[in-house]
Amino acid sequence: MKIKNIAVAGTLESNDIYVQVEPNENGINLELESIVYSQFGEEIERTVREVLHDFDVKNITIRLKDRGAVECAIRARVETALKRAKGVDE
Amino acid sequence: MRRSMLFMPGNNAGMLLNADALGADSIILDLEDAVSPEEKDSARILVRNALKYLNYNNCEVIIRINSIDTKYWKKDLDEIIPLKPNLIMPPKVSCAHDVQVIADYILSIENEHKIENETAIIPLIETSLGVENAFEIAKSNKRVKAIFLGGEDLTADLRCKRTKKGDEIMYSRGRMVIAARAANIDVYDTPFTDVEDEEGLKLDCEFAKGLGFTGKAVISPRHVMCVNEVFSPSKRDIEYAYEVMEIIKVAKEQGKGAISLHGKMIDAPIVERARQTIEMAEAMGGVI
């Protein structure tokens, strides 16, 4: 999947994660802020990279602000942002 | 056993996380009114992931999709049906054909994914035409396990004011109960929308139960306990039901055609109510 547009998904509410993606031609640039970074930072990043892999995304800048989201919410919000960035309308 | 059905907004990650821990017999993950048009895509992806990764072992899961006059409903089903939810709740169902269209589409997805599980349907009836066609809707397809009255949209369609007392939906409530019982399925009452008024909630629940409703939808976790209590048989009801079944057994052994209990004749409807009470008590695990 090629990232064509800037797109966002999620919220800054508790138990959610806010995701912003934008085009990038130089691989995967992942920036993560999390209220539980010290405990779960690596796990969150691994989950995000799995979703990027599932959607065959090789070039992207992805910024995440995590408010304690569980895995299913992280996966959902990243997937939503990717689909929105692909330019597919509702 | 389904007494309470708790609405949860489909795009709220935090509320979905603990949805099955709030005591409701069913949770309704809402993709319709609780989700803005801009977030429909986000909500259905979140609900799909919630179904996949959160077990929801403690309750039944119902998904309220968008109505068939929108561009969203097929996408909702495409995402959700492969995860085998217990029930789909289509809103604004007005005739049997609406149900058939939805059931056919569900079947096509199940076939595509080689799913043998049959997701059931609980049509949300909230238009005057829907109320008029309630029996046809209830009988329209074997997937229909219950019907549910939506009072808010209905009163808008009736062009009247929605009141706490509910006189404006009295006819519709009665009609829904008759339709469902005639079709031998369950029937659920509209939510009581004043979250703060616990006494009003109790009266509304008791009224609905008195009409014959199986249970009631709720919009707040605070209402779950009251609905569960009102729509459960009381300890006295259960004890009486066992007494009825025991005296009927004795009557049969003695070859008696008629028998009384506490001075009252025990006839077939009383035995049937006793059987239903015991069935529900057993479903509750004997908890009163």
* Rounded Cα–Cα distance for residues B206 and B21 (Å): 25
Percent of chain B with pLDDT over 90: 82
Residues of A in contact with B37 (CB under 8 A): 90
The answer to whether B25 and B229 have CB atoms below 8 angstroms apart is no
Q: Which residues pair with A49 in a beta bridge?
A: none
| pLDDT for A1 | 87
Handedness of CA B204, B207, B213, B215 (dihedral sign): positive
Handedness of CA B61, B51, A73, B106 (dihedral sign): negative
User: What is the third-level CATH fold of A7-85?
Assistant: Ribosomal Protein S5; domain 2 (3.30.230)
Domain boundaries, chain B: 4-230, 235-283
Which strand (E) or helix (H) includes residue A51?
Answer: helix A37-54
Interface contact A15-B14, CB threshold 8 A: yes
Q: Are strands B124-125 and B120-121 parallel, antiparallel or unpaired?
A: unpaired
The answer to whether B120 and B142 have CB atoms below 8 angstroms apart is no
Mutation for testing the A interface, residue in B15, B16, B46 having most A CBs under 10 Å: B46
Q: Which residues pair with A33 in a beta bridge?
A: A65
* pLDDT above 60: residue A10: yes
* pLDDT above 50: residue A14: yes
Phi/psi of residue B227, each to 5°?
-60, -45
| pLDDT for B83 | 95
The answer to whether B103 and B121 have CB atoms below 8 angstroms apart is yes
Which of these, B79, B131, B60, B125, lies nearest to B99 by C-alpha position?
B125
| pLDDT for B13 | 96
* pLDDT above 70: residue A88: no
Residues of A in contact with B10 (CB under 8 A): none
Report helix, strand or coil for B40: helix
* pLDDT above 80: residue A66: yes
The answer to whether B16 and B31 have CB atoms below 8 angstroms apart is no
CATH number of B4-230: 3.20.20.60
| pLDDT for B73 | 98
The answer to whether B94 and B153 have CB atoms below 8 angstroms apart is no
| pLDDT for B255 | 83
| pLDDT for B152 | 95
Q: Which of B13, B37, B71 is closest, CB to CB, to A73?
A: B13
| pLDDT for B286 | 56
Q: Which of A16, A72, A80 is closest, CB to CB, to B41?
A: A80
Q: Which residues contact A9 (CB under 8 A, 6 or more apart)?
A: A18, A19, A77, A78, A80, A81, A84, B42
C-beta atoms surrounding B263 within 10 Å: 5
Interface contact A73-B37, CB threshold 8 A: no
Interface contact B40-A80, CB threshold 8 A: no
Phi/psi of residue A70, each to 5°?
-85, 175
| pLDDT for B91 | 98
Domain boundaries, chain A: 7-85
* pLDDT above 50: residue A89: no
| pLDDT for B288 | 47
Interface contact B40-A90, CB threshold 8 A: yes
Q: What stretches in chain B show pLDDT beneath 70?
A: 286-288
* Rounded Cα–Cα distance for residues A54 and A57 (Å): 8
pLDDT band at A32 (very low <50, low <70, confident <90, very high): very high
